[in-house]
Structure 1
């Protein structure tokens, strides 16, 4: 009889985490109004990493050098993925569209598991994949038979996020999730900030409102989001959590429509709808299991 309250609490926490993630798109886009992309993402994740390290210090002290090395290695992939993501956001003409493209990474997780780890994904994956690609094509055709730079950056980020998910499931299995998050988030800042210093000309000053958006990105959309999401995941099964976390692109599209007054053409709506359908199809076994558990 105690499972139900935990389930409701987990659902609410995970829903809140997806909303924080969606808000992070807005915070990040606003931050780019006064910060360079690599400068912003490096600073954001370094600040968030410091806070997460403080929360996970006990777990981190218990890790041996080999575990820390594996976590840092996977963090390198995370850093590269975030670099492409922020470049996508900088060039994006439509944030909601970008969120759906980035979510393609969920569909591609089993494909990467097959290519790099020899796993055999379920048949639903091969059905969902062409649907997802058709959705991406519709988003591109909405701009007249051309791919925008932002779309390509988001697509590369989605590919890297798929690879990252597989690595987290295998290479760093057994490492406490809070400690793992602290290491990986910190690695983004440690790697990208020096790259920014080499590749970007930092502005002489940063307006105060931009600093507000930066802090909101680091503390609310990164630190708080990770803590809420990890707590929610600890109260339910991974499959159930994954289903709720799939709502992030839809939240992002709604928040962007409200904040930036974005709207979608019929072709963009079709593309986002196809990607959403592919997400559901690729996780249908989990969704069906969750529905059976509820009803």
Structure 2
């Protein structure tokens, strides 16, 4: 039996959460050895370059209006990533950072409703508080320590929610009502071309901020083969592959509530951090993982009910 578009999108977004969790490890290693905005710029520009090698035919067919839509998504994303990487550099509690950043996913349906008048299923509203509770148990065992890094993560989360919505709308065909009352179809932008332009704009935004506020000389002098490895892994696995899969998944459905599945990211991050850094998970964190899974079951209850009937 073939997968529906929604189920296919869910499966791909699940893959994205795994890639995102891996990317946390790469990014954390890199920002400990070089200026964070410089790292982000190199990471995204390199990822855009790799994708452009494949995406050139699609890029050549984009018109000015489509390029502007891509650039708008990239600009919003670039600002969000700038706040995120600064939070990662300044925060002393990475688990809290994962929690606060993941609130952006929780805010996606809220932004969709407030700014784009998108209808959100009741199951999603029921799932959101369960997801927040799970994220809190997973990441805030020692309490929430309000500091500069955490504030940066909160700002990044709000902007990420806007980015998710803009990216979904750019990747899908939209019916836009003009000033004269006529409905005009706004064609979708292919996922590969959209991802390439967005990542390039993020690289330019973070690179510009790095030129203004960071010192490059010491970072370039101390560049090691290990650091280059983290940058390349972040660019290929954690950026090019991750965001291409994410954009393609978002292109399968205009509805934003499916993105809630990405609350799994901090759970994978915690599990991978346990393996990577030798950390252990407490009972509260395990309970948090359980609540996150429960929130996904609530959010996708209709599909779960159909699966149970088949079994």
Place the TM-score, normalised by the shorter chain, in its bin: 0.7 to 0.9
SS of the counterpart of 2:32? Answer: coil
State the SS of the aligned residue for 1:103: helix
Give the match's secondary structure for 1:34.
Answer: coil
Q: 1:3-22 alignment to 2 at 5 Å?
A: 3=2, 16-22=15-21
Which shifted more, 180-189 or 266-275?
266-275
Bigger CA drift: 262-271 or 72-81? Answer: 262-271
2:34 and 2:228 map into 1 onto residues whose CA distance is 9
> Post-superposition shift, 1:289?
6.6
Conserved? CA contact 1:140–1:148, under 8 Å: no
CA apart distance, 1:12: 7.9
Contiguous gaps of at least 5 residues in structure 2: 173-187
**Distance (Å, rounded) in 1 between the aligned partners of 2:239 and 2:146:** 30
CA RMSD of aligned residues (A): 3.6
Task: Report how far residue 8 of structure 1 moved.
Answer: 11
Alignment-derived partner of residue 159 in structure 1: 158
Query: How many angstroms does 1:241 deviate by?
Result: 7.8
Alignment pair present for 1:184 and 2:198: yes
Find out whether 1:250 has 2:267 as its counterpart.
Answer: yes
Query: Is the 1:140–1:147 contact (alpha carbons within 8 Å) kept by the matching residues of 2?
Result: no
| Residue pair 1:95, 1:256 contacting (<8 A) in 2 also | no
Give the match for residue 150 of structure 1. Answer: 149
Q: TM-score when scaled to structure 1?
A: 0.81
* TM-score using structure 2 length: 0.77
Q: Which residue of the partner structure matches residue 63 of structure 1? A: 62
C-alpha distance after superposition, 1:231-285 (max 9, x if no partner): 7x4998788985765533222111111112334555555566555544554x334
Match of 1:102 in 2: 101
* Equivalent residue, structure 1, for 2:178: none
- Cα distance, 1:138 vs. partner? 5.7
CA contact (8 A) 1:107 1:279 kept: no
Task: Tell me whether 168-177 or 262-271 shows the greater mean CA deviation.
Answer: 262-271
Shift of 1:9: 9.9
Distance 2:267 2:135 in 1: 15
Distance 1:294 1:192, change over 3 A: farther
CA distance in 2, matches of 1:256, 1:199: 30
Q: How many residues align?
A: 291
1:197 to 211, 221, 246: 211
Aligned residue in 2 for 1:90:
89
Equivalent of 1:262 in 275, 279, 283: 279
User: Higher mean Cα deviation, 177-186 or 133-142?
Assistant: 133-142
